Amino acid sequence: MDRILCGVDIGGTKLAIGLVTLEGRVIDSVTLYDHAQKDAQGVIAEIVGTVRELLERSGFGEEQLLGIGVGTAGHLRFREGVLITMSNLRGFKNYPLRATLQSHFKVPVHVDNDANAQAYGEYRYGAGRGFQDLVFMTVSTQIGAGVILGGRLFRGMTGTAGEIGHTIVEPHSDFLCPCGNRGCLIAVASGVALPSVFQKKLDAGMRSKAAERAAAERGEFSLSAVDGAFIKQGLDAGDEICVDIVKDYSDYIGIGVYNIFQVFNPQAVVLGGGLLNWGNEFFDRIKVRFSSLARDMLFDPMEIVREELGASAGVVGAASLVLEEA
């Protein structure tokens, strides 16, 4: 009997569910965008129904599943499988996610946060293959990380270890994180920070042709339009502010990678997340910043590599959790 994995990736805006081979290849998958409107019961029903539907249309039985892995946004109490908070899905406060899903399936259900899931996916199937100690860092709307030590996910006391995004790197920064703190990495170098960072450069008198063009085209320029894609366009067009933001962000992410190095001394750091789409120059600047800080304190080479799972990282990472605890 062929054994396969099932991965469920619960994000703030999308819910992706897929069947995955033991080699990490997606057999079939579905992505849904309506779960944020549902309550917890509705989301659970959607997940259970979609898993059954995928099994049926792919011709697999539930007994062929080695397990179901769930990667979710939010803070998780790992041992209990309880979702403590998840900002985008209100019904999930202190929600027994693992137990509830488990009640619908005979095969084991594994639940972890999405950064941990992606970290393990990269370790098992992607850019992290061959490294026993690595840190996966995602630079996206938020900044998170998953830490693999000795080939196992390291989760800490509650299950919230690896929150690199909340480490403070600029305590006197002008920028606040949604968490309320000043100058953590999320506050100065994430997707959510882009509008504030952009505004500050405008206030300082820097010019942005991208902003001027948007204003001319649409009658006005709204800061809420400043996301990773907007910066990428501006970067490619040589826009003064966008170029400067990419430079600043690479400096801060370089500091993040350096701090990871000093704390974990890992074999590799795998970088992923939407902002990496800013391209090779951004990625290379991060590496240069790291090297300029690590210098003669780096006694063995530490690899800094880009994630490899791409669009399927969420589902494949979630599915890989089944193997992590096996």
The binding site for a copy of itself (CB under 8 A) comprises: 75, 77, 84, 133, 147, 149, 154-164, 166-172, 179-181, 251-252, 255, 258-259, 262-267, 293, 295, 297, 299-300, 302
115 contacts 84 by C-beta, under 8 angstroms: no
- The side-by-side arrangement of strands in the sheet containing 4-10 is 26-32, 15-21, 4-10, 65-72, 109-113
Amino acid identity of residue 169, one-letter, is V
Q: Which of 191, 190, 172 lies closest to 181, judged by CA?
A: 172
Q: How far is the CB of 101 from a copy of itself (least distance, A)?
A: 21
Instruction: Report the residue number, 105 or 154, with the smaller CB distance to a copy of itself.
Output: 154
Question: In sequence order, what are the residues at sequence separation of 6 or more whose Cβ sits closer than 8 angstroms to the Cβ of residue 129?
Answer: 123
Instruction: Report the residue number, 221 or 252, with the smaller CB distance to a copy of itself.
Output: 252
Instruction: Report the residue number, 163 or 307, with the smaller CB distance to a copy of itself.
Output: 163
Rg over CA atoms, the chain: 20
Instruction: Report the residue number, 227 or 303, with the smaller CB distance to a copy of itself.
Output: 303
Rounded CA separation 114/9 (Å): 7
Instruction: Report the residue number, 45 or 297, with the smaller CB distance to a copy of itself.
Output: 297
Q: How far is the CB of 102 from a copy of itself (least distance, A)?
A: 22
Degrees, nearest 5: CA angle 52-57-62:
40
Question: In sequence order, what are the residues at sequence separation of 6 or more whose Cβ sits closer than 8 angstroms to the Cβ of residue 61?
Answer: 55
Q: How far is the CB of 181 from a copy of itself (least distance, A)?
A: 6
Q: How far is the CB of 188 from a copy of itself (least distance, A)?
A: 10
Rounded CA separation 277/281 (Å): 10
Amino acid identity of residue 180, one-letter, is G
Q: How far is the CB of 77 from a copy of itself (least distance, A)?
A: 7
Answer left, alpha or beta for residue 102, where phi above 0 means left and psi between -120 and 50 means alpha: alpha
Rounded CA separation 132/144 (Å): 20
Q: How far is the CB of 266 from a copy of itself (least distance, A)?
A: 6
Q: How far is the CB of 158 from a copy of itself (least distance, A)?
A: 5
Instruction: Report the residue number, 67 or 144, with the smaller CB distance to a copy of itself.
Output: 144
Instruction: Report the residue number, 64 or 259, with the smaller CB distance to a copy of itself.
Output: 259
Token look-up 């780096």 returns 298
Instruction: Report the residue number, 113 or 312, with the smaller CB distance to a copy of itself.
Output: 113
Instruction: Report the residue number, 221 or 290, with the smaller CB distance to a copy of itself.
Output: 290
Q: How far is the CB of 221 from a copy of itself (least distance, A)?
A: 29
Q: How far is the CB of 219 from a copy of itself (least distance, A)?
A: 38
